[in-house]
Structure 1
């Protein structure tokens, strides 16, 4: 008898805030889920900030089911800029129930498949000005319970499975302000944002799988182990992949890039992987290196002292291999349009074949 092994999920975040989505640019057959970013939290409810645009985008995304009938479409609520009102919105039972209803109403009206919560971050600052409080720890769990209840109602109405996922901090400290072991019971997947790691002093990696020999900082492996220890089943953990680079300018005396001293962080080359591969990797004075310990690439320009950290096909293959070996839920990436030519998504497809 052949044992069915579950194929890993491939969750792509697609942004609506940049305007109308061109679905011809989305390889729907290579994805299992699309998370639409973002839905706002306003007056303690899930809120479409630009309803006309968002509803049109939902219609467009739904047409992708012609190409891939199994594709699941979720709204992602929050994000870095819109997480400030979560703490207030889920403070009491009645507020949580109202918030849950408002979130599920959006997917009911627009024929979608689920809700993803991207609260950055319960019990800690996140973006400056965010409301956060000690009670977030418990309310985070209770919020998922309330949303799950509403989704169960919708499941009965439609006879279709409805998903509840969350994007969480890809670092162990996130676990001190949440009850992930309890919260996971209500969740299908937990998408670890194992990217945007940075240090203030030395140039490191922003989306490394393991620790670097020279710098022991955050890593995907460290976060995943911590989540499992906290009671999250490996099969619900989804590893984050960065489809974009982060760049730094290092001090004039920098010789090698990795581990050298940071002068400033800049955005001039904070672009997507298609741009990096086509225009910068081993071009214009940039040399690509591999940190074999961290399983992470980086670019360094010895003349301009620019340093860029990112994921490439090699590091993505390493991550997918890790997912398969450790029987994780799959991978997710931020964000689709950063790699227009699909270099990294093609690698994910190849790795999971």
Structure 2
């Protein structure tokens, strides 16, 4: 089976139907549905463009992604059996209204108020109850609608972000999901002044260099998650740090004056990389590129790292590769690099 190649696509970004290379994708996670009490909002503006594409490319699936960073509402919506029943019914109705093929839950994160959202010690157990109920309802309506509805979840890469999702050490909630969209990006960034790769494939030798795509996959597999339920992530944007000691020659792991708060879309990064090739570097250990001009360090994905991630998916029999967010690279350079690896595998 060809690996999944999944794009997160923001309803609010400036893209048109012809911008979407549906032939290269297997699924689009449409972002975002948000929670208002027990209801799902807003009215989506551009989903009809994607539904038009599905008629031309019937292999293409779509999931509505619910939540996102700093989006509140999950904890209250799943806090009681009564709330969960109403919330799930509204969620499924919203999915069917827009002709989605499934639901992607993007609760960042159960039991943690890291993003300024409400959190409870009961969140992990209630998340498990949510996916159990939602899987049952999707199966029921799938039988009525003569189609299969997917259920997936976006999860963090770091150990504490994975642990908080589950009330048990065996990640029981994964049993009810088709796969996990593992957010192996922003692994370093806005909370630290120590510059580092934010979406690196492998660990590297600095004090904070352990976290990587491979490290996270290994942890999931050790906890009983099948590789066929793991979709790794790529970032179509950089994390940027500024202000380094003039003596710094290798910025990876060095301390900057700023936190890695700033992000630059790949479309805006490309001219800089093209005009200053002498400031572009490849970290062979991390299998990750970076830009460094003495005062700015930027970590990002490029075609070479996308190819490396796609090959890693194939070599480890993972479910696939996803990325945030499609419109950040309208040139399709990054998407094409990954798609070519998967197509070449199909042709062998």
Q: State the TM-score bracket (shorter-chain normalisation).
A: over 0.9
Give the Å deviation of 1:280. 1.1
Choose which of 77, 92, 115 in structure 1 pairs with 2:66.
Answer: 77
Other-structure match for 1:190:
180
Whether 1:294 and 2:286 are equivalent positions in the alignment is: yes
Q: Secondary structure at the match of 2:130?
A: helix
Taking structure 1 as reference, are residues 168 and 286 closer, same or farther at Cα in structure 2, changes over 3 Å only? Answer: farther
What is the CA–CA distance in structure 2 between the aligned matches of 1:154 and 1:126, rounded to whole Å? 35
Report the TM-score, using the length of structure 2 for normalisation. 0.92
Q: Secondary structure at the match of 1:196?
A: coil
Q: Secondary structure at the match of 2:304?
A: helix
Q: Secondary structure at the match of 2:46?
A: helix
Q: Does the Cα contact within 8 Å between 1:286 and 1:300 map onto a contact in 2?
A: no
Give the Å deviation of 1:17. 2.7
Give the Å deviation of 1:44. 2.5
User: Alpha-carbon deviations, 1:138-197, whole Å to 9, x = none?
Assistant: 111111111112111220111011110110001122232222631111101100000001
What is the CA–CA distance in structure 2 between the aligned matches of 1:34 and 1:126, rounded to whole Å? 27
What is the CA–CA distance in structure 2 between the aligned matches of 1:115 and 1:143, rounded to whole Å? 12
User: Alpha-carbon deviations, 1:309-336, whole Å to 9, x = none?
Assistant: 0011111111111111110000000000
Report the TM-score, using the length of structure 1 for normalisation. 0.91
Unaligned 5+ segments in structure 2 are 344-348
How many aligned positions are there?
Answer: 336
Q: Does the Cα contact within 8 Å between 1:285 and 1:301 map onto a contact in 2?
A: no
What is the CA–CA distance in structure 2 between the aligned matches of 1:326 and 1:219, rounded to whole Å? 15
Whether 1:40 and 2:34 are equivalent positions in the alignment is: yes
RMSD after superposition: 1.7
Choose which of 135, 159, 162 in structure 2 pairs with 1:148.
Answer: 135
Pairs within 5 Å for 1:115-130: 115-128=103-116, 130=117
Give the Å deviation of 1:76. 0.3
Q: Does the Cα contact within 8 Å between 1:172 and 1:227 map onto a contact in 2?
A: no
User: Alpha-carbon deviations, 1:210-233, whole Å to 9, x = none?
Assistant: 111234231111111111122211
Q: Does the Cα contact within 8 Å between 2:194 and 2:259 map onto a contact in 1?
A: no
Give the Å deviation of 1:78. 0.2
Q: Does the Cα contact within 8 Å between 2:193 and 2:260 map onto a contact in 1?
A: no
Other-structure match for 1:263:
257
Q: Does the Cα contact within 8 Å between 2:193 and 2:241 map onto a contact in 1?
A: no
What is the CA–CA distance in structure 1 between the aligned matches of 2:298 and 2:272, rounded to whole Å? 10
Q: Secondary structure at the match of 1:345?
A: helix
What is the CA–CA distance in structure 2 between the aligned matches of 1:60 and 1:301, rounded to whole Å? 41
Other-structure match for 1:3:
none
Unaligned 5+ segments in structure 1 are 1-5
Give the Å deviation of 1:285. 7.8
Q: Secondary structure at the match of 2:297?
A: strand
User: Alpha-carbon deviations, 1:288-313, whole Å to 9, x = none?
Assistant: 111111111100012xx011000111
Other-structure match for 1:133:
120
Give the Å deviation of 1:104. 0.6
What is the CA–CA distance in structure 1 between the aligned matches of 2:22 and 2:119, rounded to whole Å? 37
Q: Secondary structure at the match of 1:311?
A: coil
What is the CA–CA distance in structure 2 between the aligned matches of 1:126 and 1:17, rounded to whole Å? 24
Whether 1:314 and 2:296 are equivalent positions in the alignment is: no
Choose which of 16, 25, 28 in structure 2 pairs with 1:31.
Answer: 25
Give the Å deviation of 1:286. 6.3
